[in-house]
Amino acid sequence: MSSINSRNYESTPAQTVAFLGLGVMGGPMAGHLAKAGHTVTVYNRTPAKAEAWVAEFGAPGRHAATPREAAAGADIVFSCVGNDDDLRAVVLGPNGAFAGMKQGSVFVDHTTASADVARELSNAAQSAGFQFIDAPVSGGQAGAQNGALTVMCGGDKVSFDRVKPVMAAFARAVTLLGASGAGQLAKMVNQIAIAGLVQGLSEAIAFGQRAGLDMKMVLEVIGKGAAQSWQMDNRGKTMIEGKFDYGFAVDWMRKDLGLVLDEAKRNGARLPVTALVDQFYADVQQAGGKRWDTSSLITRLK
Ligand SMILES: NC(=O)c1ccc[n+]([C@@H]2O[C@H](COP(=O)([O-])OP(=O)(O)OC[C@H]3O[C@@H](n4cnc5c(N)ncnc54)[C@H](OP(=O)(O)O)[C@@H]3O)[C@@H](O)[C@H]2O)c1
């Protein structure tokens, strides 16, 4: 499930860490931490995934029955779950990770969640004597498997400097962008930039197909010019072929755009294209594409 491509890890002192949430992203990220020499205790709500992870990466490491047990004694606790409520579920309450965190430790959250929940949990962590860094990622499943994610962080600089070399096990760029919540806000900027672009790319490909062009050849040519993008390079071919059964799920994108549109209501930003594309993704969900890659936006135009 978590198969990763090992890479050269920078040598950093081994740390005792925990990882909560071994999904598409979390499984390989935790795998890189183990391969880099850290002692990793994992927790996953569905225990079978944790067992499979330990079988693949677990020396020295183990899986714990609750987030609290996983966090006990750890210098750094990482999480990568679904949304705000899922994050609260693994962090708060008597079996939540916060109940097990030791003084002076750091909690690093890689979930794409709201800036509000980041600030709320950062305040709770500080009152309890440890720190919280919001650290959503970009780079997708392939980035997690290759240990090449981009990590956007918000929080306290001293704690960030402590955890940055450890995150380097699964990332090629780890940057502190401001106070608590700034990582989540930067991820929203990322998703706004992607939403309009994928719709533009969809319209371009659908237009070219109707015009009878060989679109693979066209993308090869225009991909060397000003229209080039990550989406064109990594999704153009499969959009032409109509293959969407992989990648970053439409359900997750709608969750992210919901966070974006909520934040825009507060800060007054105008996002007409993003709001429209969010509704286009609702069409894709209704057509059965909840787990399709976000490039499936083109299916509305066929
Ligand atoms: N996939 C991507 O390409 C990508 C890229 C960038 C960012 N992200 C973000 O990264 C996060 C994780 O994405 P993913 O693709 O790894 O998702 P995923 O494969 O669905 O994994 C979600 C993980 O969270 C756990 N979880 C969910 N709700 C929970 C709850 N209430 N209590 C305890 N555990 C819970 C799941 O446990 P179970 O195994 O028990 O279900 C699973 O381990 C999301 O916020 C997503 O938006 C994803």
> So where are the chain's domains?
16-179, 185-301
- Give 178-229 pLDDT, tens digit per residue: 999 999 999 999 999 999 999 999 999 999 999 999 999 999 999 999 999 9
- Does residue 1 carry a pLDDT above 80? no
CB of 234 within 6 A of ligand 1: the answer is no
pLDDT of residue 10: 84
- Cα 212 to Cα 194: distance, rounded to the nearest angstrom: 27
Looking at residue 7, its pLDDT comes to 84
Give the closest residue (by CA) to ligand 1 atom 24.
81
66 lines ligand 1 (CB under 6 A): no
Tell me how far CA of residue 63 lies from CA of 19, 21, 101, 104, 119, in angstroms.
Answer: 9, 11, 16, 23, 29
| Nearest to 112, CA basis, from 273, 254, 293, 295 | 254
Task: With a cut of 60, say whether residue 2 has pLDDT above it.
Answer: no
Domain 16-179 fold: Rossmann fold (3.40.50)
The residue to which tokens 């429209």 are assigned: 276
For residue 59, pLDDT beyond 80? no
CATH number of 185-301: 1.10.1040.10
Taking the CA of residue 103 as centre, how many other CA atoms within 13 Å lie in the half-sphere pointing to its CB?
1
* pTM given for the model: 0.95
